[in-house]
Structure 1
Amino acid sequence: MQNKFITVEGLESSGKTTACSIIIKTLNEYGISKKNIVLTREPGGTPIAESLRYIIKKNTKKEFISDKAELLIMYAARVQLLENVIKPALNVGKWVISDRYDLSSQAYQGGGRQLDKNLIHHLKSMVLDDIYPNLTFYLDITPDICLRRLQKKGDLDRIEQESLSFFERTRNCYLDIVRKDNSIIFIDATKSLDTVIQNLKNSLFNWLKIK
């Protein structure tokens, strides 16, 4: 089967890391070996992109990161990941599974930060070279559940410390995009872990059968 690019999206603590593991296990069951699968994440995935992740996530009182700077840092990290990991893997026939991709900027910086969506569209058109996921899983949780799970985690980063209204705007943007894009599969991540895992596996198997 031809290689594909699959991404997982959602608010903080929606279960993206677990979902990526389930996707890889399901692909293995389908006959795609681990050596033919590349797992990565955003922001990050390369040494430079991981350094940019640290800047985005770090809490610092020395300098305020403006919303536009945050957006540009995210795209700088994304370009590094795209050019050094995603494209090379796809070009040699490997599957790529990514914890977040461009949809995160549309939701977090476009929805949460309320930046001009035309600016974001221009950036993605300019730097992504039409490399978009074949399939995206969106793990949906409500902002109040997101914040409750984060409170249990403790030691929150800069983004995890955002307000309820920020996460409400981010989620609403996600939902608006999901409704308009049939390459995105909606998963209710408020259900039990067993149910979420089964829904993920079933959705992926059904998608694989028609590709």
Structure 2
Amino acid sequence: MLSAVGFVPSAEAAPRVSNHAPVIWAFGDSLSAGYGLPPALGFTARLQAALRRAGVAATVRNGGVAGDTVAQARARLRWGLRGLGATPDLVIVELGANDMLRGLPVPQASANLDAILTELHNRGIPVLLAGMRAAPNLGPDYVARFDGMYPALAKAHGVPRYPFFLDGVAGDRALLQADGLHPNARGVEIIVRRVLPSVRRALRG
């Protein structure tokens, strides 16, 4: 596993917290799981720290599994929810990158994402859908179908969407691990900073 080099998070300020302590579940793949990083520097730990600095006493649980396609994530959704022990206040759905990297059919990914969003809706669980973008070498038709999948599903299910999980990080070697795919610790901090307003709005909603 890869590790971050040369990054030490700043000391966490004492948070001013509200009375309610929401539980957020980041349900995704290696990007939200913190692949290649120590647990304390992964997405869920850093998002939790950022929320608490902002006065939101949230607990962010890691539901990411490296390598998962949308179909694989769908297959583990129900037992994953059971394993939380309580209904989460928000689920961040971050999936699709592995389908894209493998060139899997977009209708297959879309149908499985649709099923995940339907299951969460039926349980009354709010969702923030985090989008992904297809690599241009897959061709314009695939890119258009894949990139368009997320806004279409967000609209169909009436859920908020964060357009691109790797916004500000993708393509910047200084913010990526040696594989050129996964964010390093600096990259995670940028992801968290950019997604934080959307997470807070989704919690309020």
Answer yes or no: same fold by TM over 0.5: no
**Structure with greater helix percent:** 1
TM-score interval (norm. to shorter): 0.3 to 0.5
Higher relative contact order, structure no. (Cα contacts within 8 Å, ≥ 6 residues apart): 1
Q: What TM-score, normalized to structure 2?
A: 0.41
